[in-house]
Amino acid sequence: LAKTTQPISMDSYEGQEVNITCSHNNIATNDYITWYQQFPSQGPRFIIQGYKTKVTNEVASLFIPADRKSSTLSLPRVSLSDTAVYYCLVGDIRGNNAGNMLTFGGGTRLMVKP
Amino acid sequence: GAGVSQSPRYKVTKRGQDVALRCDPISGHVSLYWYRQALGQGPEFLTYFNYEAQQDKSGLPNDRFSAERPEGSISTLTIQRTEQRDSAMYRCASSLAGEEAYEQYFGPGTRLTVT
């Protein structure tokens, strides 16, 4: 079971790039890294998923070093509407113990200021 | 297209009563997940299904909680003899299978209050 550690909270300003790092020292060979975003009073929303190196989509980038013991979610030029909680999940959802992976934890509360 | 829907959106019940929470996943989604979320905390996994088969129910807190998905589509989470500590937001999510299962789509949730 890959336990994850991420900062409890972060502050940023509009227009800045925000990097949120998640540590997962016990990541297993078949584990993937997935990030979700949650706004108040809404369900989590998938942001990005990766296995190794770098993944980029229209919303964010995910950087994963060669040892895969950590990962960094990068949000370019944040706006006030990016204020939310960001969760890092690590595991293999395809197995019969997917519940072990689906541990959201406390997440990182990002506050974007004007 | 239509997203995941849940009903009721709000449920107030008295301690000791049974409640049934419904989840209607996105059409074609093989996998369905149930979570519980307390205020200020992340979602807590309860159970999940692939088609009609319950794959993992390790997160169900005790035997008062059960879930079913008899036809591989709509799912019901049942809580028997509710207690005040069961008060929470109950969220359902659905996804495609395989590697696409990492991208889950969440419903609006059912706010359960046990008085």
* Angle, vertex CA B45, rays to CA B100 and CA A64, nearest 5: 50
Answer yes or no: do B41 and A85 touch at CB < 8 A. no
> How many CB atoms are located within 10 Å of the residue A111 CB?
13
Residues of A in contact with B98 (CB under 8 A): 94
In this prediction, residue B1 carries a pLDDT of 58
In this prediction, residue A95 carries a pLDDT of 67
Model confidence pLDDT, tens digit, residues A19-75: 999 999 999 998 999 999 999 989 999 999 999 989 999 999 999 999 999 999 999
Contacts of A93 (CB under 8 A, 6+ apart): A32, A101, A102, B101, B102
Give the mean pLDDT of chain B: 95
Element (H, E) at B50: strand B44-50
Closest chain A residue to B98, measured at CA: A94
Mean pLDDT, to the nearest integer, of B8-16? Answer: 98
Model confidence pLDDT, tens digit, residues B62-113: 999 999 999 999 999 999 999 999 999 999 999 998 888 889 999 999 999 9
Answer yes or no: do B58 and A43 touch at CB < 8 A. no
Which tokens belong to A94?
Answer: 């395809």
Answer yes or no: do A102 and B55 touch at CB < 8 A. no
Which tokens belong to A97?
Answer: 């113990």
Answer yes or no: do B45 and A32 touch at CB < 8 A. no
Residue type, A25: N
In this prediction, residue A2 carries a pLDDT of 57
Mean pLDDT, to the nearest integer, of A63-88? Answer: 96
Closest chain B residue to A33, measured at CA: B102
* Per-position b or e across A49-58, b if 16+ CB within 10 A of its CB: bbeeeebeee
Distance CA B66, CA B47 (A): 9
